[in-house]
Structure 1
Amino acid sequence: MLVALRASHEHLDLDVLDALTRGADTLLSALGEVQAERAEEQAVLDGWVVVSTCNRLEVYLDTQRFHDGIELVIDAVTRTSGLDRDLVSLCFDAAMDAPVTRHLYEVSSGLRSVVLGEAEIAGQVRAAYETARRAGTTTSLLHDLFQHAFRCAKRVATQAPVGAAGRSGAAIALDRAAAELGGLEDRSVLIVGTGAYARLGAADLLRRGAGPIRVYSPSGRTPGFVERHGLETVGPEELEAALAGAELVLAASGRGTSLFPERFLGAGRTVVLDLALHSDLHPLVRHLKGITVLGLADLHVSTRDGDPALVLAREIVEETVEAFRLQQEVRRVDPAMAALRREVADSADAEVDRLRREVSGETAEQLERSIHRILAKVMHNPAERAKHLAETGFADTYVEAFHTIFGIDISADAPEGDRHDAVAEPSEPRPAGWMRVDHTVPPSAAAELARAAVSGPAAQQSPTSR
């Protein structure tokens, strides 16, 4: 089944999200390690993709069991973040099936970003999927899910541009800085960091005629960055002087505090764009006279609900959700059709072999081609009918009829990672939408709580009543 866990700026303070996402670059492998340590006969997770950005940490699962899959993710995030397990549970929401699909397509299209409609998120989602694919943690279900996400994001960007209309968050931040400074042309700039926001910011600053532009990198990656963009390098010993001379500081390294209040004591009127989730700025910098700090939370760009572009964007999302659902329904009859094609092909090959023993040369070639043309025509209608029945909700009926008519067992046809039931196992309740992880109670625990409820006042201490 398709399951996801999400923690984002929509539900969490950015400081909490920052703590949760530390070590997220190792979460993909940590999930595999935690699953291997469980040493179960059958793996709970068939596949997983981790999407970690400045504003969210989300894990998409192809899992055999809902609650067990959630538990594995919570264990893995506890390991990578170093946070208490109960706190991690409080940070995540979880859902399965259609709500997961809808959420990913809204995220990929920039409809759930701080800067509505921003451009970076589609690339970040694609990069997350490619990382998982290279690591071997994707399945056909996850492949289909993310391919539809990419198509949805492209359609929204071209047909229904909303909010930032496909512009980057860095560009929006620079708009705010320009408003504060009365324009950016010929403004002296210091960029801290060489990551995505720094690259986008540098390119945009050059287009706007800002300069001089200098770069300081706590990671020491400045030389290649400044060479590509034609900028100036700032060494550690020059940082205070560079801050004193800058009218705009774009802080986006994400490597932790490197800009302390005392470094700004010689600065005049300065706008600081604090764009890293793991802030480069000491909190007291915001209280210094003459310093204006604009953080991620200050970049909110929205639009009214009735905006025609937003309405169309949401329609595109819903169309993509339905397209994915139909594709998965069709995939449920694929093993049956594959089995039938194999049966037919094996029979055809046997007949061709018999003919070749009796007829040779060009005649045999013509007979073989004729047999395959006839079989292709015979198979066309059943294949189209199977697709239609699957799309209209009769996949199970088709597969049952297939067994009855042809007597072919397809239970072992699909690879282990490609088998997906339409519903959760009967003993496990099916969640209706997104819910906080600490409120998801496995059936066994629910039964224990129910027994406790009728046994006395101790039942009032339910662990899920937080």
Structure 2
Amino acid sequence: MLAALRATHEHVDLDVLDALTRGADTLPAVIEELQTQRTAATGAAPVVAGQVVVSTCNRFEVYLDTDRFHEGLDLVIDAIARTSGLEREAVSLCFDAAMDAPVPLHLYEVTSGLRSLVLGEAEIAGQVRQAYETARRDGRTTSMLHDLFQHGFRCAKQVATQAPVGAAGRSGAAVAVDRAGIELGGFEGRTALIVGTGAYARLGLADLARRGVTDLRVFSPSGRAAGFAQRHGATIIEPDGLDAALADADLVLACSGRGTSLFPEQFLAAGRTVVLDLALHSDLHPLVRHLKGVTVLGLTDLRVGVDVTDDPALVTARGIVAENVEAFRVQQEVRRIDPAMAALRREVADSADDEIDRLRRDVAGETADVLERSIRKILAKVMHQPAERARHLAETGFADAYVEAFHTIFGIDISTVRDAAEASPGENGEGGEVSPAGWMRVDRTVPPRLDGEVAAALSSADLGRVALREGRCPVDADAGSSAPLDA
């Protein structure tokens, strides 16, 4: 079955997201390691067949092809607790989970930029594609995950061309530069310092150059400024020149994501400065925001400035998303009958081979070849109609009826995906797992392993006091409400 976990800017503070995503690059390997350990210890079959991890500035999501929903979630939460260093119970408070239909709906909205901080921004489609390609190269995808993401990429392209909304396919960096231009009163004669050499740095520098900023400087805490500056026609700032560069800059684009590298004392001589703080793992010391003459615009500030109230393009975009969700569903229904059709083809082919072998014992040479071609051509025509009928039944929701009839007529027993799901043990050892209705918080989907109050578990974690605003759990945007810790 298809399942997913998500922690996004819609549900948790960015500080929490930052804590959760530390070590996210190792998460796929850790999931596999934990699964191998459990399989060796229990002798049970692996629960997760495939996985794709999407980790960006605004979201941390894991998409699974899994045989058992609750065990799959349990495995991923354990893995995230290990990679992030946070308490398991705290991690489960921060993630929502869902299975089947809500999953493609969410992914296609994400990939189309409809769930971004900057509505309609362009980077997210590329980030999701990169996450999928990484999983594919590492051998962690399945046919279902392949179908899921390919439909998502087509959906994003359709939305961008047929229903541009919000930022209309522009980057979040470009929207941030827009905001900076308003604060500065224009870019003519301005000096810009870019801290970092990643995607946001590249996009921001290119956008500033298009707006006529010629004094562009680059500083890299990791020491990679030279190559980046040479490729983009900027001036390199060495570590010993950083303070002077900050004093000269009208605009600072801070997006290295390597942690605090810009401190309050470095801005004391800066005068009027706008700082775009665009890394999830911020480059800025928190006190920089309180300096006189320094305006800091962070990721959450980018929500402002995109008004899509009653935007007909948004209605069209959501219609496109719905169409792709349905196309994915139909494709999976068709795939469910593939084992039955493959079995029928094998049965027919084996019978044909036996008959052709018998024929060749009686007839030789070109005559036998002609007869073999005729037999196989007839069988292909005979098989065409059942195959087309099977596809139609699957597309219209009658795959189970086809497989049952197939078993009755041919005596070949084919278990479908739905059959397997219904036969899997539930929480109490009974048949069938309880499917969550839409997205729900993971701690309510998979009961915590340890006894005691969940709130106490959260407060013991190092993300505790900064994690959740006003003592509340992550908000479920789909439900439109949040739950207190003692719920």
Cα shift at 1:140: 1.2
AA aligned opposite 1:334: D
AA aligned opposite 2:358: R
Stretch moving more, 360-369 or 178-187 = 360-369
Cα shift at 1:58: 0.5
SS in 2 for 1:164: coil
Tell me the distance in 1 between the aligned counterparts of 2:292 and 2:310. Answer: 41
Contact map agreement 1:90 1:438 (CA 8 A) in 2: yes
Contact map agreement 1:429 1:443 (CA 8 A) in 2: no
CA change 1:337–1:442 in 2 (3 A) is: farther
Cα shift at 1:441: 4.5
**Residue 105 in 1 paired to residue 108 in 2?**
yes
SS in 1 for 2:169: coil
Q: What is the aligned partner in structure 1 of residue 458 from structure 2?
A: none
Tell me the distance in 2 between the aligned counterparts of 1:403 and 1:465. Answer: 52
Q: Deviations over 1:133-191 (max 9, x none)?
A: 11221111111111111111111111111000000000100111111112224321100
Structure 1 counterpart of 2:277, from 274, 279, 283: 274
Q: What is the aligned partner in structure 2 of residue 67 from structure 1?
A: 70
Q: What is the aligned partner in structure 1 of residue 335 from structure 2?
A: 331
Tell me the distance in 2 between the aligned counterparts of 1:285 and 1:85. Answer: 33
Cα shift at 1:306: 2.8
Tell me the distance in 2 between the aligned counterparts of 1:444 and 1:299. Answer: 39
**Residue 408 in 1 paired to residue 415 in 2?**
no
**Residue 96 in 1 paired to residue 84 in 2?**
no
AA aligned opposite 1:260: F
CA change 1:17–1:398 in 2 (3 A) is: same
Structure 1 counterpart of 2:125, from 106, 122, 125: 122
Q: What is the aligned partner in structure 2 of residue 84 from structure 1?
A: 87
CA change 1:186–1:76 in 2 (3 A) is: same
Cα shift at 1:293: 0.7
Q: What is the aligned partner in structure 2 of residue 6 from structure 1?
A: 6
Contact map agreement 2:252 2:273 (CA 8 A) in 1: yes
Tell me the distance in 1 between the aligned counterparts of 2:8 and 2:419. Answer: 28
Q: What is the aligned partner in structure 2 of residue 434 from structure 1?
A: 439
Q: What is the aligned partner in structure 2 of residue 262 from structure 1?
A: 265
Tell me the distance in 2 between the aligned counterparts of 1:70 and 1:176. Answer: 40
Contact map agreement 1:67 1:442 (CA 8 A) in 2: no
Structure 2 counterpart of 1:228, from 231, 235, 255: 231
SS in 1 for 2:297: strand
Q: Deviations over 1:288-330 (max 9, x none)?
A: 1111111101111544353111001100111111111111111
1:35-434 pair list within 5 angstroms = 35-39=35-39, 40=42, 41-300=44-303, 301-411=305-415, 421=420, 425=424, 426-434=431-439
1:9-20 pair list within 5 angstroms = 9-20=9-20
Give me the TM-score of the superposition, normalised by structure 1. Answer: 0.91
Contact map agreement 1:438 1:464 (CA 8 A) in 2: no
Tell me the distance in 1 between the aligned counterparts of 2:186 and 2:420. Answer: 57
AA aligned opposite 2:8: S
Tell me the distance in 2 between the aligned counterparts of 1:442 and 1:359. Answer: 70
SS in 2 for 1:165: coil
SS in 2 for 1:428: coil
Contact map agreement 2:73 2:446 (CA 8 A) in 1: no
Contact map agreement 1:189 1:212 (CA 8 A) in 2: yes
Unaligned runs of 5+ in 2: 425-430, 451-483
Tell me the distance in 2 between the aligned counterparts of 1:17 and 1:171. Answer: 23
SS in 1 for 2:222: coil
Q: Deviations over 1:313-366 (max 9, x none)?
A: 100111111111111111110001011111212222333333334444443333
Unaligned runs of 5+ in 1: 446-462
Tell me the distance in 2 between the aligned counterparts of 1:128 and 1:420. Answer: 31
Q: Deviations over 1:408-451 (max 9, x none)?
A: 2445xx9xxx8984658434221111111111246999xxxxxx
CA change 1:140–1:362 in 2 (3 A) is: same
Contact map agreement 1:66 1:424 (CA 8 A) in 2: no
Contact map agreement 2:93 2:441 (CA 8 A) in 1: yes
Tell me the distance in 1 between the aligned counterparts of 2:25 and 2:312. Answer: 38
AA aligned opposite 1:188: T
SS in 2 for 1:244: helix
SS in 1 for 2:259: coil
Stretch moving more, 188-197 or 26-35 = 26-35
Tell me the distance in 2 between the aligned counterparts of 1:136 and 1:259. Answer: 40
CA change 1:217–1:157 in 2 (3 A) is: same
Which structure has more RCO (C-alpha within 8 Å, separation ≥ 6)? 2
CA change 1:363–1:419 in 2 (3 A) is: farther
Contact map agreement 1:427 1:443 (CA 8 A) in 2: no
Cα shift at 1:61: 1.0
Tell me the distance in 1 between the aligned counterparts of 2:89 and 2:51. Answer: 22
Tell me the distance in 1 between the aligned counterparts of 2:448 and 2:377. Answer: 54
Give me the TM-score of the superposition, normalised by structure 2. Answer: 0.87
AA aligned opposite 1:406: F
Contact map agreement 1:272 1:292 (CA 8 A) in 2: yes
Q: What is the aligned partner in structure 1 of residue 460 from structure 2?
A: none
SS in 1 for 2:81: helix
CA change 1:420–1:278 in 2 (3 A) is: farther
CA change 1:190–1:319 in 2 (3 A) is: same
Tell me the distance in 1 between the aligned counterparts of 2:444 and 2:54. Answer: 23
